[in-house]
Amino acid sequence: MKDIMAGRVKNTSVSRKRLRRLSKNITPYLLMSPTIILIFIFLLIPLGFAVYCSLYRCDYMQFTKFVGLNNYTDVLGDPEILMSFARTFFVSGISLVIALIAGVIVALWIHTASKRFAYALQIITLIPWVTSMVVAAMLWKWILQDEIGLLNYFLAEIGLPKVGFLTNKNIAIYTLIFVMTWRVIGYVMVQILAGLKAIPYEYEEAALIDGASGWDLFWRVRLPLVKTPLAISATIVGLSNINNLNVPLTLLAGGPGTSTMVTAIKVYRMSFTSYHFGEASALSIIMCLINFILVIFYVKEVKYEFKNA
């Protein structure tokens, strides 16, 4: 009898242990499941559908013919689309470099400035980042217009000739770079400033005691220690610029001519002007793959941060 009871107790405690182990294994997944479901519904399913669309002739969402990889070859064989890729990388790259340099400078300025001035400067720098992209692009469009723009008005008032910021094809692309850079400097500043604040003061103090100049302090102490936030900012800003549709479309709509026709506008026009969803999906998937490469870089940098934390 005692043995039987002991056996029952043993079985109950074993099953309780199993249940506890199961619960421990499943609980994290249950907690993550809402997010996973949302990612599945709003990211993976649409992505899968886009891949499916890209394999068909799909005008006005009518799947008329399976074309396999023809949409991809058509898109990659179109010189205009290849030029749009070149423009996208040119605009994104230059905007990124300027934004990083400007962001670092502003972050350093805020880091060393008095409290009130630093606070004011942070707000001013962040305003472009928090302003809606379309609103910001519309404002700049009105400021830079040839006939009724504020900037050309002031230029005319001081006797200078008007500049075709939006109508001269050699200048328009730099106008686009300017507006895109203006928008992201705030984000870079915040990331770098956080990195600077995280540097223990003892490091800087030790460097100063050892006779380091201002430049040495920046180049040998601060910059190496903000390398990771800098790399992460570069990745995020790069992704943001490459995929940005709102600013180029609102500001210039790809013009004048095709001088600012970036890939995002091409995808938009293919989808919502021509309603050729097959080709548009193919081009979107190609853009997605390019983004994926940048994301791999980003994830590696974040892992580096965690490993070395």
Partner 1 sequence: MKKTMSLVLALVLVLCVITGCTPVTTQQTPSNQQQTQSSNEGKSVENVKLRMWTFLDLSSENARAKVLGKLIDSFEAENPGVEIIVETQEWSTMSAKVIAGHTAGSCPDIFMINMANLGEAIASGCMEPLENLFYNNWTDKQKADIDSELFRAGFDGKYHYEVPLFSGTFGIMYRADLFEEHGIKVEDIKTWDDLVEVAKKLTYVNKDGLQVWGYGVGYSTDVTDPHGVLPTVLFSQEGSIFTKDGRPNNWAGEQGQKGLQFQIDLIDKHKVMPPSCVALTSEEVYNMFEAGQFAMISGGSIRMPTVKSLTAFDPDYVEFMAYPEWNAGQGSSIANAYAWNTAVWSGSKHKDIAGKFLEYLVSPAADKMWVTEANQIPILASTLEANKDFINTPDNRWMITAQNIMKSSALVFSGQYSITGFALDLQNAMIYAYSDGMSVKDALEKAAQDFINRNVDR
> Which residue from 7, 274, 299, 303 is in contact with partner 1, where contact means CB under 8 A?
274
Residue 73 sits in the site that holds partner 1 (CB under 8 A): no
Rounded to the nearest whole angstrom, what is the least distance from the CB of residue 163 to partner 1 in the complex?
11
End-to-end CA distance of the chain: 58
Rounded to the nearest whole angstrom, what is the least distance from the CB of residue 174 to partner 1 in the complex?
15
Helix 79-112 × helix 169-197 angle, to 10°: 40
Distance CA 67, CA 64 (A): 9
Rounded to the nearest whole angstrom, what is the least distance from the CB of residue 207 to partner 1 in the complex?
34
User: Which residue type does 281 have?
Assistant: S
Which CB, 64 or 112, lies closer to partner 1? 64
Rounded to the nearest whole angstrom, what is the least distance from the CB of residue 275 to partner 1 in the complex?
5
- Using the rule CB under 8 A, give the single segment among 3-11, 52-60, 100-108, 289-297 that binds partner 1: 52-60
Rounded to the nearest whole angstrom, what is the least distance from the CB of residue 230 to partner 1 in the complex?
30
- For residue 303, what are its two tokens? 């892992």
Rounded to the nearest whole angstrom, what is the least distance from the CB of residue 137 to partner 1 in the complex?
12
Residues with Cβ within 8 Å of 156's Cβ and at least 6 positions away in sequence, in order, are 162
- For residue 257, what are its two tokens? 């001519």
Rounded to the nearest whole angstrom, what is the least distance from the CB of residue 122 to partner 1 in the complex?
16
Residues numbered 214-273 forming contacts with partner 1, rule: CB under 8 A: 249, 252-259, 272-273
Which CB, 238 or 278, lies closer to partner 1? 278
In which residue are the tokens 């604040």 written?
A: 197
Residue 4 sits in the site that holds partner 1 (CB under 8 A): no
Residue 59 sits in the site that holds partner 1 (CB under 8 A): yes
Which CB, 275 or 292, lies closer to partner 1? 275
The count of chain residues that interact with partner 1, using the rule CB under 8 A, is: 27
Residues numbered 144-173 forming contacts with partner 1, rule: CB under 8 A: 145-148, 164, 166-167, 169
Which CB, 228 or 271, lies closer to partner 1? 271
Which CB, 93 or 164, lies closer to partner 1? 164
Rounded to the nearest whole angstrom, what is the least distance from the CB of residue 190 to partner 1 in the complex?
18
Instruction: Draw the binding track, 97-136, toward partner 1 (x: CB under 8 A; -: no contact).
Output: ----------------------------------------
> Where do contacts with partner 1 occur on this chain (CB under 8 A)?
57, 59-62, 145-148, 164, 166-167, 169, 249, 252-259, 272-276
